[in-house]
Amino acid sequence: MKRLLSSNGLWIGIALLALLIFPLIQRSQYYQHVMVMTMMAAVLASSWNILGGYAGYTSLGHAAFFGLGGYLVALAHNYFGWHPFVSTWFLGFVVLGVALVLGWISLRTHGSAFVVVTIAMVFIFRLVALNLSNITNGARGLTQPRPGWGGVPWSPEFIKVPFHYIMLILLCITIFASWRIRQSKFGLGLIAIREDEGKAEAVGINTMLYKVLAFGFSAYFMGVAGGIYSYFFTYIDPQFIFDVFTGVTMVLIAILGGRGTLWGPVLGAFIMEPLGNWVIGTFGGTQIHLTIFGGVLLVVMLFMPQGILPTLSDAIRQRKKAGMVKAPSP
């Protein structure tokens, strides 16, 4: 923790403070909503990054775990009355367990085969949710009671605020976990797997174990976010929550910001999510935001193939180096 703060402490402090006071100074429901969605996008991209960025396994199917978390939390709320803000943290572990099993199966494939298997995962989950209609209510979806606490619903002016703070907590935990993993032996092993899996195995890394664990961890935060999301909207249906586009978006956000870096996915989310909302707000609910998303990604890939953050930090390092070389000369 100390080391995380010592290197970037000032910036983290400013960002955290801004996010803490955001709902107090920004009273607009719309902007509060966008901020919740932005932080959620950052959570999704960061947790995807644990597997896709560090270990280099591109999953386009992590929406499956997002949706599973959403369904588990909604069902637990409706059947047992468990409050989503509490239950989502525990039900996330169920998602993790499911992910360990699915990871153990799917991680036998590599490269594009793995991508296809993960996409299939989303469709399988959607089919199950559609057809287990006596539990999941099928295509009609699940509705939860209006958000509140202790039987008292929150007022419309206040309703986004609790979601803002719980999403902020989740974002902090996700970033901390991602940082902790990156610093550990485990993280070093994941990077080694990304670089050369066979070599990693040859020098004594149990690559299957590492990959499956990374798969599970990344699914946990997905599941928790899905749980909060289902309560935020109070309604979910299989089409809506098991959406391949959700899985693709988090990947594009991570790539945009800088895949495999700690802060890249967060940066990508804080650029793309507000931009997307602004475009929808300005041009209406056409699919133009997808076009613009694609355009931005194209430009970034052309000029910063590693993503925004690695390119910027490289440039800064180069300048520092140049400065250091110049300094001794008379």
Partner 1 sequence: MLEVNQISKAFGGIKAVSGCSMSVERGSITGLIGPNGSGKTTLFNMITGFYPPDSGSILLNNQPIQNLLPSQICHRGIGRTFQITRLFWKMTVLENMIVPVRHTGWRTLFSQGVKKHEEERAMGLLDLVGLTQYSDEEALKLSFGQQKLVEFAAILMSDPDLILLDEPAGGVNPVMIEKIMGLVEDLNQQGKTFLVVEHNMRLVMELCQHIIVLDHGQKIAEGKPAAIQNNPIVLEAYLGSTNHAGA
Binding residues vs partner 1 (CB under 8 A): 180-181, 183-189, 191-192, 195-196, 198-207
Smaller CB distance to partner 1: residue 168 or 200? 200
Closest CB 256 distance from partner 1, rounded Å: 20
Euclidean distance between CA atoms 235 and 311, whole angstroms: 40
Closest distance to partner 1 from the beta carbon of 191 (Å): 6
* Residue closer to partner 1 (CB basis): 55 or 74: 55
Let me know: does 237 contact 71? Beta carbons within 8 Å: no
Half-sphere exposure of 255 (CA within 13 A, CB side): 22
For the CB of residue 217, give the shortest distance to partner 1 in the complex, in Å.
Answer: 11
Least distance (Å) between residue 166 CB and partner 1: 26
Q: Are 267 and 82 within 8 A, CB to CB?
A: no
Residue 237: Cβ within 10 Å count: 18
Q: How far apart are CA 245 and CA 266, in angstroms?
A: 19
- Sign of the four-CA dihedral 187, 190, 192, 194: negative
Taking the complex as a whole, the smallest distance from the CB of residue 262 to partner 1 amounts, in Å, to 13
Cα 299 from Cα 262, distance rounded (Å): 22
Shorter beta-carbon distance to partner 1: residue 10 or 324 = 324
> How many other C-beta atoms lie within 10 A of the C-beta of residue 81?
10
Phi, psi dihedrals of residue 155, rounded to the nearest 5°: -70, 155
Comparing CB distances to partner 1, the nearer of 126 and 259 is 259
Q: Smallest distance from the beta carbon of 163 to partner 1, in angstroms?
A: 31
For partner 1, the closer CB: 157 or 196: 196
At its nearest, how many Å lie between partner 1 and the CB of residue 323? 18
Q: Which is nearer to partner 1, 157 or 195 (CB)?
A: 195
How many angstroms from the chain centroid is the CA of residue 82?
24
Q: Which is nearer to partner 1, 33 or 194 (by Cβ)?
A: 194
Q: Is 9 exposed, middle or buried (0-12, 13-18, 19+ CB in 10 A)?
A: exposed
Amino acid at 38: T
